[in-house]
Structure 1
Amino acid sequence: MADQGLIQDDERLRRIEAVTDATLSRLDAADLFDELLDRVRDLLDVDTAAILLLDTHAQQLVATAAKGLEEEVRQGFRVAVGRGFAGRIALTRQPVIVEDVTSGVVVNPVLLAMGLRSLLGVPMFARGELIGVLHVGTLGQRRFTADDVRLLELVADRASLANLARSNNLDQNAALALQRSLLPTQLPHVPGLDMAARYVPGHVAGIGGDWYDVFVLPSGWLGLVIGDVSGHGLQSAVIMGRVRSALRAYALVCDDPAEALTLLDRKVSHFEAGNLTTALYAMISPDRTRIRLSSAGHLRPVLAVPGRRGAPVEVHADPPLGTGRRPPPRQSAEADLPPGAVLVCFTDGLVERRHEVIDVGLEQLAGVVRTAPAEEVCATVMRTLGAEQPTDDIAVLVVHRLPTPT
């Protein structure tokens, strides 16, 4: 009997290797995951199979391919790392078995609506880095075995190779590369501060016009930018890249954020006519005690200081960039940044909801911003504001002034 079991396992492995090798040789990227997931359902005798890939900037898993759970992909389901079944797999980087599915275990409503009873999921890796999660499920209760886990891990390895082949879609890959190149791959190390950021696309292609930027100026001041070019897709991303580069150039010759935005407005109105852009440009002093900022139609950032809840910074909202009209002189404002304070800059996708005035989201955001490490604040804001299924792009930039050592 033992020999027969080994023969069956070897046959299963040979079948998986054969189908994945055939899949990888195809040019049609859309078929790569589909054929693999079909084979997984057959080999493991399960009802559903799905792949969620990691969006590193958002720290969320995105439903990318599914069999039996196609609605998950159509909805563009996202779940934060650490949340629910798939998020737990990504956080621990270990297989997870759920023998009895409940709403306390999973956060994806599609899984619950399907009536799945048991789940098995494993992490996906490429070059040693986590890239996603592969999971399978059954409508009847099932006790997944160690052999099932081992088999699914092998499939996850093959799926990772398929993902590399899938990225050969040059148009999409080039567009995504452009988007990612315009976001800081790593925030700069700045003495006295710690920072964190998130970017979540609200468009199915993963490309949009929201951006954030952080740079140290020759004077020692720290520049912070967050902005939003109207629209979605590659065109918005291209315009955003030009606006971002121009603001960096103006920041080198202007000590006043309002002056830099005035020059940027002229540039956008002349060279990017018809593309409305909002932007917030803030500068933090070399001693980290003060913030100087100006807003071009952008939402005010939220500032929390020790002993007080978060509140919007008092800064005048000047007209957006690119209106084509000569606005009145733009204004700058100043605010204190005491030790322990936290500044949260964001785009409107974080707080805007359909059928709800924006004040509700702004009040909710102010209520959750508190004095804590930047990464902790960033994760709390994203989790609380329900940004896993956005209808608009979201960018968040959090700056925390480290407490003065005692």
Structure 2
Amino acid sequence: MKNPTATVLWNGIVSDDAKPQPPSDDWWYEDASLLSLSLYKRLIQAVESKGMRPESIAASLIFYARKYLPLMNRQSSFHDTNYVNSGTTISNISEADQRALLEEIVGLLPHQKGVTSSKFLLRLLRTAMILHASPSCRENLEKRVGAQLDQAVLIDLLIPNMGYSVETLYDIDCIQRILDHFISINQASLVSTSPCIIEEGQLMSGTDPLTPITMVANLVDGYLAEVAPDVNLKLPKFQALAAVIPEYARPLDDGIYHAIDVFLKAHPWLTDSEREQLCRLMNCQKLSLEASTHAAQNERLPLRVIVQVLFFEQLRLQPSGNLGLPTKNDVSGQVEPAQDRAVGVDHHDMRERVLELQKECSNMKKELQKLVKTKRSWSILPKRLGFRKKWEPCSPKESKPSDTMAPAPCCNGQQNHENS
């Protein structure tokens, strides 16, 4: 703590009553930002060769970029209302100079993963799209973001579409490329790890190799839910982005189910086959109790998916070894209080609905069995009455074997009448 009795003599030199405070790491950022781009580039290369920490170099580049690139201080998406303080921003720079400055800064960024924040990289990428930077510059930024996509947040991924032919509200193709790069560089670690032996607690602890892909899966599911209301978003593009995430990367499929539900609500003209194809992206067995209850009553889902949800929910509610049959407590009308609190009224209604479906199915089977027995009895009756194929000539035309039963009574009736 600084001594209040200390007095400053001259040029930062204090009296012996207090020790001088060490300078912070950012003391040179402001002074370095006064240099021209060529001199600043030489300075960064020099301090990097002398072994300066990559974090300090990245922070200086961020300070320099925000001072000379006004677009860096604007909102990153339609939903982001947080503005960076632009009081020190120089705005009288031409677009060509800003483009050249941005490309130089991207080339000077340290290559170590995590040194530069994903938020700043995504803002640089959005600015590069606005300024029409070179394809190599944008590809470099996309790969940097893809390498640390698990550190990004949803609001920074919502990059508005700035192409000449704007098809969708957000640039989904860019996020697709970033996601593909993340999967490609993490493919080796994901394949070597068996997802069958990973527990949920290990995923949340952050020590398991599957943790980054799980975080990215939640991020992609949230992104899909944000872009799904766009009526111009086509089904193949939505499917392609969702299908990149492996199935084992999602401990629960509540996120992808929510995105599918939003997409179905915004695209009511989808055919039944397209709805079926869309719902294949989720696993009904990995829905939580709350999501299963919502899906069972969701009229936008195909009937087959609703039946699957009800079936798996019934399996979950019934104890093992007693699938589809009422338990002892159900017969006696007694339900344990703890189970009743966990299941709730909605799940009891769901159980009743499943039991009704099972009852209707069994009734249909009984009716079919009755029809089969009736058909067999009619086929045996003519043989018991002595009707044979010798009465076939009574028919004026040659009939098929299956049709010989119909004219036989007629001929037999005529023969009995003549004999009488």
Bigger Rg, structure 1 or 2: 2
TM-score (norm 2): 0.26
TM-score (norm 1): 0.26
> Larger relative CO (CA 8 A, sep 6+): 1 or 2?
1
Q: Larger % of helix: which?
A: 2
